[in-house]
Every structure is written in structure tokens, then in C-alpha cells.
Amino acid sequence: MKERERVIVAGVLGVLLLAWLGFLVHRSPRFAGSGVGAVFGIAGAVLMLVPLAYPTVKRIPFLNARITPHVSLQSLMTLHVYAGILGPLLGIIHTGHKYDSWLGITLTAAMLLVVVSGFIGRYLLSFVNREIKDKLLLLQTARGDLDSAWGVLENSPVEMRGLPKAPLLAAGLASLGLGLSAGGPAGEVTRLAESVADLEYAVRTHELLKRWCRRWLKLHLVLSVLLYVLLALHIWAGIHFGLRWFS
């Protein structure tokens, strides 16, 4: 997700969360059943169906081969994000801030959870992937520099005595900001070794966070299934009990 797109989506998400809290100052019990309210509800329902295009095309080889030459998966993902956040926003407007039935309350909660989980999972995963890539490049460079510095040190037996006699103690002191000063090739090797260790730890941490982000996206998928089930029940209830403006 590009930076500008992320800012736009975050802004709409903020509006969505504030719109949900509008029931504290505003309630319109008859708006959802009015003609204008129905237009918002139908438009919101249609927009909430649009995000299905991305996972469908991505996971079905036949559709992937037919559609992606004309519309890229990245474009479908962008459509997935925008439609997935605008649909619930229209749905919140459709409610008129009337949360009286268990179905309406559950559907509203599911909409918000799907949007928030999708945004967090998408943002964090892209951020973590970028951080891992950057850290791996730095780690590769640091290891090369360490190998070169160690080669220089091996050719200087006198400088070898400048290395810490107790590496674990030296590392512990360095973590407290009390590192032992060392100059020359020995100091360079020590500094580069600490940098490599820090980068390796950062990569492992980001890899762990990446695994949790993938689990978060699975939660997003489960919540999405729940959302569509509740949306289908809501549409059925609206048709079953009649449209108010026709009565």
C-alpha cells in the first residue's frame, strides 16, 4: 500500500469509527427504512461485495489467467481496500444510528472489526516485509565488512590481544551503554560483530511479527465470512418483513 493511499484509507477509517459513535448524539429510527436510507444500504451492500473479487481471482487459477492480463492483482487489491472501507461507511449511514436488534448490532460490529483487522493486517504486513528486506540488505553488508575486518585482524597477532577476553561480559556492558573502548582492527571487529548481532536479532523479531500478521489476516478472513453471513440475513430480514416505504 502506497503512503498516500494509506493516509487516505486511514482518514476514511477514522471517519468510519467516528460515524459509528454518532449514536451518542443522534438517532433516526425511521431513516433505515426510508427511501434514502435504503439507497445507502443497497449501495453499501454492493460495495461490501466488491472486495470478494480480489480473493476470488487470486485463488481460482482459471479466473486468474483470464482477468490478470487485463486487471492486475494490485489493482484488485486497491479496489478491495477502498470498497471494503466505503461499503461499511455507507452501512453506518444506513443505520441512522439505530441499534436496537441483535442482528443490526452484530452486523455493525462485524463491519467495524473486518475493516480494522484488514487495515492493521495489511499495513503491518507491508511494513514488516519492507523492514525485513532492508534489514537483510544491511545484514549482508555488515557481514561482508566483518569478514574483511576479521581478515585484517588475523594478519595482526598483536591486535588480536585487543579483543575482549570475556565476550559475554563485554556484550552485557555494551547493552547498558558501558562498552569497553577498543581501537584499531580489534575495535572495528568488535563493533561490526555487535552490529551483525543486533541486525540478526532485529530480523528474527520481524520474522516473528510477520507470522503474527499472517495469523491476523486469517482472522480477517474469518470475520469477513461472518460479515457476509450476517449481511445475507439482514437482506433476507428486510425483504421478509417488507420495505417500509411500500407499506
Q: Is the pLDDT of residue 225 over 80?
A: yes
205-215 pLDDT, tens digit per residue, is: 888 888 887 77
Confidence label for 229 from pLDDT (cuts 50, 70 and 90): very high
Widest distance between CA atoms in the chain: 97
Residue 157 lies in a domain: yes
Q: How confident is the model at residue 87 (pLDDT cuts 50, 70, 90)?
A: very high
The verdict on residue 210 lying in a domain is: no
Kindly tell me the burial class for residue 132, based on how many C-beta atoms sit within 10 Å of its own C-beta (0-12, 13-18, 19 or more). middle
Angle at CA of residue 126, ends 122 and 131, nearest 5°: 150
Domain count, the chain: 2
Instruction: Please report, for residues 103, 201, 237, the alpha-carbon distance to residue 241 in angstroms, rounded to integers and kept in the order given.
Output: 14, 60, 6
% of the chain surpassing 90 pLDDT: 15
CB 94 within 8 A of CB 35: no
Q: Are residues 15 and 72 in the same domain?
A: yes
DSSP state of 100: -
Cell of 234: 439482514
Identify which of 117, 244, 143 has the alpha carbon closest to the alpha carbon of residue 203. 143
Identify the domain containing residue 188 by its residue range: 134-203
Across the range 225-237, mean pLDDT stands at: 91
More confident residue, 166 or 240: 240
Across 214-225, b (16+ Cβ under 10 Å) vs e yields eebbeebeebbe
Answer yes or no: do 110 and 57 share one domain: yes
Are residue 115 and residue 228 in the same domain, yes or no? Answer: yes
In a domain, 71, yes or no: yes
Count the helix, strand and coil residues of the chain and give each as a percent rounded to the nearest 5: 80, 0, 20
pTM, 2 dp: 0.68
pLDDT at position 245, please? 47
pLDDT above 60 (res 114): yes
Higher pLDDT, 84 or 9: 84
73 within some domain: yes
Task: Give the lowest-confidence range in 6-10, 69-73, 135-139, 235-239.
Answer: 6-10
Determine the pLDDT at residue 226.
93
- In whole angstroms, what is the distance from residue 238 CA to residue 185 CA? 77
Please report, for the chain, how many H helices and E strands are present, in that order.
9, 0
Average pLDDT, the chain: 78
